[in-house]
């Protein structure tokens, strides 16, 4: 069968499938969906089929265009996200190299050294807090004013905590330098 259109306006399902380069199953599907219609002699009007297939082609082209626009937009967004991730990765790599360099120069405490130093600081804080009662007992026994007692206790606790903070800052500076 040639692609030349005969003068007749009605064709069988197989002829329409052949003329529009689609399967017979696709023609059946279009009939079931009501997009194509069989006339009384079980044939399909060619001009109506042509309009339907042009409409389907336009719908497909529009969907493809929208899909491509979406892909392009996503691509731009993906590029921005990719660049952000790349910058973050480069930053982490630079920090890691800097840390490794400091480690090679023995300027950075190892994990074990840091843990040992923090344990010493924690032990010192514990000892200072537990010895507050020993240090203040003589003065507290003579004091009757509860506000003064509270202030003396607060001051000792503050001193112990500040000492701990200072030791941690020294440790941090040693690790940063």
Higher pLDDT, 93 or 75: 93
Higher pLDDT, 80 or 95: 95
Q: Domain residue spans in the chain?
A: 1-107, 109-176
- Given this model, what pLDDT does residue 97 score? 78
**Span 52-72, mean pLDDT?**
81
CA–CA distances in Å: residue 164 to residues 17, 132, 168? 86, 15, 6
The 10s digit of each residue's pLDDT in 153-177 is 999 899 989 888 888 888 777 666 5
Mean pLDDT score across all residues of the chain: 81
Distance of CA 170 to the CA centre of its chain: 37
| pLDDT exceeds 60 at position 29 | yes
Coil, strand or helix at 4? coil
- Given this model, what pLDDT does residue 74 score? 63
Assess contact for 129 and 160: CB atoms under 8 A.
yes
The 10s digit of each residue's pLDDT in 86-134 is 787 788 778 777 777 766 776 666 778 778 888 888 888 888 888 888 8
Percent of the chain with pLDDT over 70: 82
**Span 24-42, mean pLDDT?**
91
Residue 38 β-bridge partners:
44
| pLDDT exceeds 50 at position 17 | yes
């Amino acid at each position: 069968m040639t692609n030349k259109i005969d003068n007749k306006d009605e064709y069988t399902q197989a002829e329409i499938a052949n003329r529009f380069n689609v399967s017979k199953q696709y023609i059946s599907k279009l009939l079931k969906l009501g997009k194509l219609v069989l006339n009384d002699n079980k044939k399909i009007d060619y001009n109506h089929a042509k309009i339907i297939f042009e409409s389907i082609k336009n719908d497909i082209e529009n969907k493809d265009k929208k899909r491509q626009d979406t892909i392009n937009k996503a691509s731009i967004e993906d590029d921005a996200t990719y660049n952000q991730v790349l910058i973050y990765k480069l930053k982490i790599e630079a920090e890691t190299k800097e840390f490794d360099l400091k480690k090679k120069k023995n300027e950075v405490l190892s994990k074990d050294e840091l843990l040992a130093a923090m344990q010493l600081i924690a032990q010192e804080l514990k000892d200072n807090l537990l010895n507050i009662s020993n240090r203040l007992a003589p003065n507290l026994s003579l004091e009757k004013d509860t506000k003064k007692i509270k202030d003396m206790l607060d001051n000792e606790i503050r001193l112990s905590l500040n000492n701990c903070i200072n030791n941690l800052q020294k440790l941090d500076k040693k690790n940063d330098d």
